[in-house]
Amino acid sequence: MNNFNYSIPTKVYFGKGKIKKLGEIAKAYGEKALLVYGGGSIKSNGIYDAAVEKLKEAGVQYVELSGVEPNPRITSVEAGVKLCRENKVDMIIPIGGGSTIDCAKAIAAAAYYEGNPWDIVQDCSKITKALPIISILTLAATGSEMDAFAVISNMERNEKLGMGHDLLKPQASILDPEYTFTVSKYQTAAGTADIMSHIFEAYFTTDEGAYLPDRMAEAMLKTCIKYGPIAMENPENYEARANLMWTSSLAINGLISFGKTGEWSVHGMEHELSAFYDITHGVGLAILTPHWMRYVLNDNTLNKFVEYGINVWDIDKSLDKKEIANFAIDKTAEFFKKMGIPTTLREVGINEEKLEVMAQQAVRFGMEDCFVPLTAEDVLNIFKDAL
């Protein structure tokens, strides 16, 4: 277990009806908010009405930025910055999934940056101050509600970049599992795959002795495997939605990566798919993950896959180690398939054409410290396997 500093400062208000706290929470940060939301799901399912009612009761004024895209664009960030400056807002309240919350985070930092907002996406060390964020989550997936990251796309440049800074951590997040009842089957599956991928990225490392984080990670994976299909089958199953929602937050807030090292592998590859083809993040991850697992399985990584197979998939530990590892990877692929997620890149409209340039871009910030170091050629091979 390596040294670490523990800091998970977001105040979480979890459970049915917790929107009632919004007025009181917002009031503590000032008089005026920027509400940020997506393409309108919050209007049709009543979450928008519930939130503005609470703000009005508390006397908090608000202006709105709507239409934030899945894979949020830098253009939406720019529009939000303009609104913050024109209206002198004190806080930002994103209501939605990861795209909306990420957009709000980038706005929060860019509002205090004089230059082009894309500069701070490219180089987070330029962030010196950020408006407070109070997030209201409506989709269990990214963990943006409790982490320091935001992922912003610049479609003109075919770039999708992650930014990370302590100042981007939400001050508070309202997590009402009922708010995810209206999430489609497709997004529920994609969200579950995203949560699982965050856990894999923390779990598959070369660290020795990180027993506690790895056992917590396995419990989280089992939670996704148990409740993902239930939430798809019965969207209003509170227990399933609640367990998935809390797992989404815990998977990426640091809890299972404190004490561990190493860079992420599959996310860097997937972000290129989204940057060039605008596909759903969790779907890209689910397609790539089994192929990445097969590619990095070797004598050095075998034991980790065996641990995964036995502890997560309950595979008989008396079997041959290679058999257990391969079986575990098969189970992973089968699970995503059972969730109705496409299994090949072609199914989501990706062919050979741009694989090489995407592979080059995926490694431009380095993938040497991954579970298994990856070169552009390795990434290209994984993309080809996934075609």
Give the C-alpha separation, 15 to 387, whole Å: 41
Q: Collapse the DSSP code of 33 into the 3-class scheme (helix H, G, I; strand E, B; otherwise coil) and give the result.
A: strand
Name residue, tokens 């109070």: 134
Helices (H), 39-173: 41-44, 47-58, 74-87, 98-110, 117-122
Q: Are the CB atoms for 274 and 162 separated by under 8 Å? A: no
- Judged by beta carbon distances under 5 to 8 A according to partner kind, the member of Zn ion, ligand NZQ, none in contact with residue 94 is none
Residue 179 lies near ligand NZQ (rule: CB under 6 A): yes
Q: Which of 186, 188, 170, 187 is nearest to 241 (CA)?
A: 188
Question: Which CB sits closer to Zn ion, 194 or 207?
Answer: 194
Q: Which stretch binds Zn ion (CB under 5 A): 57-65, 156-164, 186-194, 210-218?
A: 186-194
Residues found in the chain: 387
Residue 135 lies near ligand NZQ (rule: CB under 6 A): no
Q: Are the CB atoms for 151 and 252 separated by under 8 Å? A: no
For residue 245, the minimal CB distance to Zn ion (Å) is: 15
Residue 138 lies near ligand NZQ (rule: CB under 6 A): yes
Name residue, tokens 């396997």: 385
Residue 175 lies near ligand NZQ (rule: CB under 6 A): no
Question: Which CB sits closer to ligand NZQ, 252 or 325?
Answer: 252
Q: Which of 309, 297, 313 is nearest to 382 (CA)?
A: 297
Q: Which stretch binds ligand NZQ (CB under 6 A): 17-25, 141-149, 215-223, 305-313?
A: 141-149
Residue 201 lies near Zn ion (rule: CB under 5 A): no
Give the C-alpha separation, 117 to 328, whole Å: 43
Binding mask 221-260 for ligand NZQ (x = CB under 6 A): -------------------------------x--------
Report the interface residues with Zn ion, using CB under 5 A: 194
Report the interface residues with ligand NZQ, using CB under 6 A: 38-42, 45, 70-71, 96-100, 102, 138-139, 141-144, 147, 149-151, 179-180, 182-183, 187, 191, 194, 252, 267, 281-282
